[in-house]
Chains A and B, each alone.
Chain A
Amino acid sequence: MDTIYTSKYFVASQCDNSRRFYIDFGHKTVKFSFCQLLALRHKLKSIDIEQHVNGENIHGLEVLSLCNREHLFVFNTLEILDLQELIHGTFAMMEINSVLA
């Protein structure tokens, strides 16, 4: 298993043998196909983080269902920002890997 990117709270890795991605959320590690990783990226990009500070999202929480509703997570503002950074960094690293491969 190769680590692709590490953020403050989470770690993204890939397994060449199974051709799957893994995200370690601290208390739980979730396996992703590439399609499921793309879906997570899309969900994170769709989150309007401004709502966390302008009072529209008063609790500052986001509920994310992952891998076709196999997993359900509740994240606070800092965790969402960190997860966004993780996914951004993961795809950036994978792009570099594509260039080098």
Chain B
Amino acid sequence: MKDLVRQNLLIHVDILDLLNKQIKQEAESSAAYLAMASWCDHNGLVYSAEFFYEQSAEEREHMMKIFHFINDNGGTAYSPEVANINHDFASLEEIFETALDQEIAITKSIHNIVYECRNKRDLTTENFLQWFITEQMEEEQTMRRALELFDLINTENVGLRFLDEKIKEIRDEANPA
């Protein structure tokens, strides 16, 4: 009997499911960052808003990277449903803490897929995910740097505006022109 699965699909079927879950997680993350950007915009924190708009676009790029990888290798990528996005935040610090938690969750999820790739001997997907491992390390670093600012700067009154301006510097450091 011919191996028709392998003829059609380079990715292991179980890994395909995990990658589709990852697409959903990246989409949810993109939508969550958009909600954070909106909150910052409404509260006059223009640099933080810009930071989260860019972050949202980046998460969508990650999603599309996985989306194309699946379709290019014979699988079917599913457009994800995104619902129940939180728009209520008590402070900018809470937003950055939530953002860091979100990045940690994505890192864990990527690592989990890599472990599964090793179990299933899917070396192609494991190699593809190496880029995400490095990217997640950088994403976490950026969020940690932002959170550290809250320990250094008093966020009452003008301090919050000062901190907002510093967020731009963090973004510029992470993405040099």
Chain B residue contacts of A41, Cβ below 8 A: 13
A-B CB contact pairs (8 Å), 25 listed = A4-B1, A14-B1, A14-B2, A16-B4, A19-B2, A19-B4, A19-B7, A21-B4, A34-B4, A35-B8, A35-B74, A38-B13, A38-B16, A39-B76, A91-B5, A91-B13, A94-B3, A94-B4, A95-B13, A97-B1, A97-B5, A98-B5, A101-B1, A101-B2, A101-B6
Task: Report A-chain residues with C-beta under 8 Å of the C-beta of B9.
Answer: 34, 38
Q: Any chain B CB within 8 A of the CB of A2?
A: yes
Size bin of chain B's contact surface = 10 to 19
Q: B8 contacts A34, CB within 8 Å?
A: yes
Is the CB of A42 closer than 8 A to any CB of chain B? yes
Partner of B5, one of A2, A34, A39: A34
**Cβ contact within 8 Å between B4 and A14:** yes
Shortest beta-carbon distance, A36 to chain B, in Å? 10
Complexed CA–CA distance, A95 and B3 (Å) = 9
A14 to chain B, nearest CB (A): 6
Cα–Cα distance between A14 and B17 once the two chains are bound (Å): 23
User: Assuming A34-B5, A35-B76, what are 7 further A-B pairs, CB within 8 angstroms?
Assistant: A4-B1, A19-B7, A34-B74, A35-B74, A91-B13, A95-B5, A98-B6
Residues of B within 8 A of A101 (CB): 1-3, 6
Looking at A2, A19, A34, the one whose CB has the most chain B CB atoms below 10 A away is: A34
A19 to B9, CA, bound (A): 13
How far, in Å, is B19 (CB) from chain A's closest CB? 13
Shortest distance in angstroms between B21's beta carbon and chain A's nearest beta carbon? Answer: 11
Q: With the chains together, A16 CA to B3 CA distance in Å?
A: 9
Q: For the complex, give the distance between the alpha carbons of A95 and B121 in Å.
A: 12
